[in-house]
Amino acid sequence: MKSTERMVNLALAGLTLAPLVVKVNPNLNVILTACLTVFVGCYRSVKPTPPSETMSNEHAMRFPFVGSAMLLSLFLLFKFLSKDLVNAVLTCYFFVLGIVALSATLLPSIKRFLPKHLNDDAIIWHFPYFRSLEIEFTRSQMVAAVPGAFFCAWYALKKHWLANNILGLAFCIQGIEMLSLGSFKTGAILLAGLFIYDIFWVFFTPVMVSVAKSFDAPIKLLFPTSDTARPFSMLGLGDIVIPGIFVALALRFDVSRGKQPQYFKSAFLGYAVGVVLTIIVMNWFQAAQPALLYIVPAVIGCLAGHCIWNGDVKQLLEFDESKAAADSSQEESDVKASKKVE
């Protein structure tokens, strides 16, 4: 599978750079970029320990309301303050965040070419005047931060669509890799809530479309078109990350059972179908569409149908990633203890 992952990484990199040299159909570009990004993030999320940030049912229920408050706040900021001022503040914030995300995304590839001591030896740096605050990092992370700083500076100075997309893809991959829903029940609650959230803010108010057009930050991917009236097609990062963490959970569920990624394939297929449906409806009506309206039913429907067909509904609903990880570590400890006794 490592060779497949490398091929997908290269395909994503090539597709991101392709519009610089050849004309790429923006609809095809949206579909392939979204699917490849989800695939990369899902496989990067498979680790000996589950992702560091796990969402609870309560967090999943609150998420659409928190997202709505943030969206409305941004809308009001752009309405009553200077757009340039708001975007300047946001650019500073995303400059720092972008360096962290892009360096973390590049780190696994960079570590393969560096000596072991550069990857393992930690450096602890204390903030001046605040000695209790400290940052721990390795030299390999410092090396990875160099291209991260370059792309962030390029984006801040030029706001080029390629720099925007590179940072956006890094945010997506890190989000899918680091976030965990914990269980499929939590995932279903989150997706159902955001399904309603997306429909309300796109169809019933001008808020989301207005913020997306005004927000000059890498919170969306831009795909060049040949239409001078509409030079870019857009896809929000949430339309990749939110379904992506659900698809990644399906992959880790397969891995926890020691089986080939069967449910990952059905969830991933559902995601691809949802993105394709979004593009078809968007072009048919020539209007912005809430992507989660099509992606959420497709992902949940494909996974549920496959699960019902195989008779694994109970196992899937009872799956809890934190408990599965604890059981796995306990088994490893028991194996090590038995070896010592022998």
Catalytic residues: 198, 239
Please report, for the chain, how many H helices and E strands are present, in that order: 14, 6
According to DSSP, the β-strands at 53-54 and 179-180 are parallel
d(CA 149, CA 163): 11
- State the amino acid at position 89 in one-letter form: V
| Residue 253 · residue 319 · CB < 8 Å | yes
User: What's phi and psi for 131, nearest 5 deg?
Assistant: -65, -20
Residue 301: name the closest of 225, 237, 246 by CA: 246
Rg of the chain taking only CA atoms, in angstroms: 21
Could you tell me which residues come within 8 angstroms of residue 139 by beta carbon, excluding any fewer than 6 positions away?
114, 118, 119, 121, 123
According to DSSP, the β-strands at 232-236 and 220-224 are antiparallel
